[in-house]
């Protein structure tokens, strides 16, 4: 069997064909590289670099707001913590220099600055294409210019007059505080950025303080209140009935093997005493009675306590105002 190979209008031997194809691939790569540079200079440098500048700047401001939350709410143990947003261990080379230029407006860049930022962005695209050649041009751009992969978060504690990594030697309670408190500050700062001042500030915890002594759990839960967060938590043994917690509604779930049912027993903690909570049907009756009594909330025999929604306890702060809702 004989195979004739025709390429560019004439027959070619296999070695000659391979050489010609290699030359063509190199030429197309050169043309594409030139096109990439043109796109970078006319679009990415001005548009993407400006967007990166805004996003990275916003992230730095958010970290500053989180640290302000931490500064305003120190732990009862005196531990001072802060978040740091730093270049990750796998950060691309030249990130520090590119970041300094991105701190400036693109309009203020010199030709050298523009060329350096363009080279940095182009290098990230080239690395991405080399790692995953199957991706589309858009996918490569999206992954290559995702600034979040260039950075990582760290937690530091103030010790002996300087900031050190919080991952050093510490007690179990201190480790839990070092891991939890910055997250509470992050959630509080995130909710503070919302426009609605009276919206819920919800966090959910699942066995968050397992294996920690009662004193440390009480401090963590007290900090949740200090950050004005609305909490829903589940636990096998945690009742959250500590003086640091001003109020909480508890649903105790009990079941017996071979019985397809769960008993729900309601409790309420008011900061000093735990007592049986009102069942939903009784709450509905109280609500109806309050409505009949009128807007004044008065019966002939005296005032009627305001009804509370099922499964929630209204927390009143020391100033007498309405506080967070804890479930």
| CB-CB neighbours of 182 under 10 Å | 22
| DSSP output for 263-281 | EEEEEEE-SS-EEEPPPHH
Q: Does 148 score more than 70 pLDDT?
A: yes
Which two three-digit tokens encode residue 185?
């500050």
Q: Does 255 score more than 50 pLDDT?
A: yes
Sheet strand arrangement including 81-87: 81-87, 151-159, 162-165
Percentage of residues in the chain having pLDDT higher than 70:
74
CA distance 146 to 49: 12
Residue-wise pLDDT for 131-142, tens only, equals: 766 767 778 778
Predicted confidence at residue 41, as pLDDT, reads 55
Higher pLDDT, 130 or 154: 154
Higher pLDDT, 177 or 265: 265
Q: Does 116 score more than 70 pLDDT?
A: yes
Q: What are the b/e assignments for 299-325, b being 16+ CB within 10 Å?
A: eeeeebeebbeeebbebeeeeeeebbb
Which of 18-22, 80-84, 190-194 is predicted least confidently? 190-194
Q: Give the sign of the dihedral formed by CA 273, CA 276, CA 280, CA 282.
A: negative
Q: Does 275 score more than 90 pLDDT?
A: yes
Predicted confidence at residue 276, as pLDDT, reads 92
Instruction: Say what the pTM is.
Output: 0.58
Predicted confidence at residue 55, as pLDDT, reads 87
């Amino acid at each position: 069997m004989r195979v004739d190979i025709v390429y560019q209008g004439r027959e070619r031997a296999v070695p000659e064909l391979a050489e010609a194809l290699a030359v063509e691939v190199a030429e197309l790569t050169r043309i594409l590289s030139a096109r990439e540079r043109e796109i970078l200079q006319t679009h990415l440098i001005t548009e993407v670099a400006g967007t990166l500048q805004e996003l990275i700047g916003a992230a730095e401001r958010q970290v500053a707001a989180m640290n302000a939350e931490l500064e305003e709410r120190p732990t009862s143990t005196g531990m001072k913590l802060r978040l740091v947003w730093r270049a990750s261990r796998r950060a691309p080379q030249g990130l520090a220099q590119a970041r300094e230029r991105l701190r400036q407006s693109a309009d203020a860049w010199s030709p050298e600055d523009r060329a350096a930022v363009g080279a940095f962005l182009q290098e990230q695209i080239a690395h991405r294409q080399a790692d995953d050649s199957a991706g589309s041009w858009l996918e490569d751009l999206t992954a290559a210019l995702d600034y979040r992969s260039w950075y990582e978060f760290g937690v530091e504690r103030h010790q002996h007059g300087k900031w050190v990594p919080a991952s050093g030697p510490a007690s179990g309670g201190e480790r839990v505080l070092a891991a939890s408190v910055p997250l509470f500050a992050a959630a509080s700062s995130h909710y503070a950025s919302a426009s609605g001042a009276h919206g819920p500030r919800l966090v959910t915890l699942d066995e968050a303080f397992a294996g920690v002594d009662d004193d440390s759990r009480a401090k963590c839960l007290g900090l949740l209140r200090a950050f004005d967060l609305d909490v829903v938590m589940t636990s096998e043994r945690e009742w959250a009935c500590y003086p640091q917690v001003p109020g909480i509604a508890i649903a105790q779930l009990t079941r017996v093997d071979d019985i397809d049912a769960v008993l729900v027993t309601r409790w309420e903690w008011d900061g000093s005493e735990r007592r049986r909570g009102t069942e939903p049907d009784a709450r509905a009756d109280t609500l109806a009675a309050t409505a009949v009594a009128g807007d004044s909330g008065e019966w002939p025999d005296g005032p009627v306590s305001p009804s509370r929604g099922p499964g929630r306890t209204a927390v009143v702060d020391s100033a007498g105002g309405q506080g967070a809702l804890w479930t």
